[in-house]
């Protein structure tokens, strides 16, 4: 890197920061903690290999996600990111359940407003029957895992505000 | 462990699998792919260090989680398991929005129903009062009290009720 200061990774690894150092664009010298945590969890060698396998325009995002995962694993050495995934999956399930109940209620209301249908038949419509026939277009979430949920690493990985709880 | 029963880690690393191998309980030789992913992403040394730092009863779960993260990263080299988190967050936002919209529709329907019931009750009340007015002959037939002496019964019935009772206290 000529006369300019070495990047955070070369500083930590105590080596000369080459002009084409693969880490330099993503680990500036003013944020040593960022590389330190990635190195601790993944190892500099593995990170270097991962970045080399990616096209240049995707490396910044890859580094961001690696930093996020490394932070999650340091905060929660048992579950890491998986704790957040489990927690969010539970939230999605609960919301979908509430949505199903609300949609069944709408159907009941609409059926009651149907003039041709006798009211005693409408009253006997079971909500659970409506739920079972309800069609959810977006219910394609794969069940990734069934670990116990851990909410202490939830944070918007790349763009949004932190949801740290 | 003899050569023939080495764990997946020691097989992959081509080393002797000792009796107290840290990785052996969690990376059996029957699933070499599991260790291959973890080795590629975290490295054997880091994996061993991370597991050693944990109490025994938590190591199995930790190994499973690391295995999941590693395989997610192999499948998606850019975002890994963070991509799954983003996807789930988007689904939550979408589901919340849908729920708010649906609950709004329910509230609207309920409000409409209530309004209709109130209107029905008011109409019934007006009709009842009108009926009672028809059944009382005294002031209608008396020319002294009748406010509309030159108007016959049919016209009174056709007249707007609010106008008919205008000026009467009730």
Share of chain A above pLDDT 70, in %: 67
Nearest to A95 among B86, B99, B109 (CB): B99
What is the extent of the structural domain holding A57? 8-75
Residues A49 and A84 in one domain: no
**A73–B50 C-beta distance less than 8 A:** yes
Are the beta carbons of A46 and B88 separated by less than 8 Å?
Answer: no
Instruction: Say whether pLDDT at A32 is over 70.
Output: yes
User: Would you say residue A2 lies in a domain?
Assistant: no
Sort out which chain A residues have CB atoms less than 8 A from B77's CB and list them: 50, 53-54, 62
Residues B93-129 have pLDDT tens digits of 999 999 999 999 999 988 988 899 999 999 999 988 8
Q: Is the pLDDT of residue A159 over 60?
A: no
Instruction: Calculate the average pLDDT of chain B.
Output: 84
Q: What is the pLDDT of residue B158?
A: 58
Of the listed ranges A124-133, B22-31, B61-70, the least confidently predicted one is A124-133
> Contact A147/B81, CB-based, under 8 Å?
no
Q: Give the number of domains in chain A.
A: 2
Mean pLDDT score of chain A: 79
- A89 and A142 fall within a common domain: yes
CA dist list (Å): A35 to A52, A64, A117, B87, B124: 16, 11, 68, 26, 78
Classify residue A163: in a domain, yes or no.
no
pLDDT, residue A56, reads 96
CA nearest neighbour of A104 among B92, B102, B141: B102
Instruction: State the residue for tokens 């932070």.
Output: A71
Whether residue B54 and residue A78 make contact (CB cut-off 8 A), yes or no, is yes
Q: Give B117 to chain A, closest Cα distance, Å.
A: 13
Residue listed under structure tokens 């394609």: A140
What mean pLDDT comes out for the span B129-147?
65
Identify whether residues A44 and A85 lie together within a single domain. no
Q: What is the pLDDT of residues A107-150, one digit of tens each?
A: 998 888 776 555 555 445 444 554 454 444 444 444 555 554 44
CA separation for the pair B96, A125 (Å, rounded)? 27
Same domain, A21 and A63: yes
Contacts of B89 in chain A (CB under 8 A): 88, 156, 160
Closest CA in chain A for residue B110: A109
DSSP labels, B49-118 = HHHHTS-HHHHHHHHHHHHHHHHHHHH-TTTHHHHHHHHHHHHHHHHHHHHHHHHHHHHHHHHHHHHHHH
Do residues A143 and A89 make contact, with C-beta atoms less than 8 angstroms apart?
yes
Residue B160: pLDDT above 60? no
Question: Which 37-66 residues of chain B touch chain A by CB within 8 A?
Answer: 40-43, 45-46, 50, 53-54, 58, 61-62, 64-66
The pLDDT confidence band at residue B133, using thresholds 50, 70 and 90, is: confident
| High-pLDDT (> 90) share of chain B, % | 67
pLDDT of residue A5: 86
Residues A37 and A52 reside in one and the same domain? yes
Task: Pick from B37, B54, B67, B78 the residue to mutate for testing the A interface (most A CBs within 10 Å).
Answer: B78
Going by C-alpha positions, the residue among A163, A99, A41 that lies closest to residue B86 is A163
Q: Which residues of B touch A138 (CB under 8 A)?
A: 91, 94-95
Lowest mean pLDDT among A84-98, A103-117, B20-34, B44-58: A103-117
Which residues 114-133 on chain B approach chain A with CB closer than 8 angstroms? none
The pTM of the whole model exceeds 0.80: no
- Collect all residues of chain A within an 8 Å Cβ-Cβ radius of residue B50: 41, 73, 77
Say if the Cβ atoms of B78 and A53 lie within 8 Å.
no
- The helix/strand/coil state of A19 is coil
When mean pLDDT is compared across A7-11, A29-33, B127-131, the lowest value belongs to: B127-131
Residues A63 and A14 grouped into a single domain: yes
Asked if the structure places residue A156 within a domain, the reply is no
Q: Is residue A152 part of a domain?
A: no
């Amino acid at each position: 890197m000529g006369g300019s200061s070495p990047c955070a990774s070369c500083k930590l690894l105590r080596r000369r920061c080459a002009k084409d150092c693969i880490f330099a664009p993503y680990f500036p010298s003013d944020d040593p903690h960022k590389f330190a945590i990635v190195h601790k969890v993944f190892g500099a060698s593995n990170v270097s290999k991962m970045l080399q396998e990616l096209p240049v325009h995707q490396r910044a995002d890859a580094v961001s996600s690696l930093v996020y995962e490394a932070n999650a694993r340091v905060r929660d050495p048992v579950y890491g990111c998986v704790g957040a995934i489990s927690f969010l999956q539970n939230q999605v399930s609960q919301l979908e359940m509430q949505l199903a109940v609300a949609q069944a209620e709408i159907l009941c209301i609409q059926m009651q407003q149907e003039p041709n249908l006798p009211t005693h038949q409408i009253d006997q419509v079971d909500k659970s029957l409506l739920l079972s026939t309800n069609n959810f277009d977006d219910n394609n979430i794969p069940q990734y895992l069934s670990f116990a949920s851990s909410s202490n690493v939830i944070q918007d990985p790349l763009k949004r505000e932190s949801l740290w709880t | 462990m003899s050569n023939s029963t080495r764990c997946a880690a020691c097989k992959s690393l081509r080393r002797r699998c000792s009796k107290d191998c840290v990785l052996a309980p969690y990376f059996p030789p029957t699933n070499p792919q599991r260790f291959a992913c973890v080795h590629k992403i975290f490295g054997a040394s880091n994996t061993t260090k991370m597991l050693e730092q944990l109490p025994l009863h938590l190591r199995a779960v930790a190994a499973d989680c690391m295995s999941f993260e590693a395989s997610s990263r192999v499948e998606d080299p850019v975002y890994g398991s963070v991509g799954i988190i983003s996807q789930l967050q988007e689904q939550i936002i979408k589901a919340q929005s849908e729920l708010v919209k649906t609950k709004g529709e329910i509230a609207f329907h309920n409000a409409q129903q209530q309004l209709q019931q109130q209107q029905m009750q008011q109409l019934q009340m007006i009709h009842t009062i009108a009926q009672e007015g028809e059944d009382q002959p005294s002031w209608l037939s008396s020319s002294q009290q009748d406010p509309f002496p030159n108007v016959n019964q049919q016209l009174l019935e056709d007249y707007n009720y609010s106008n008919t009772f205008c000026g009467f206290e009730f």
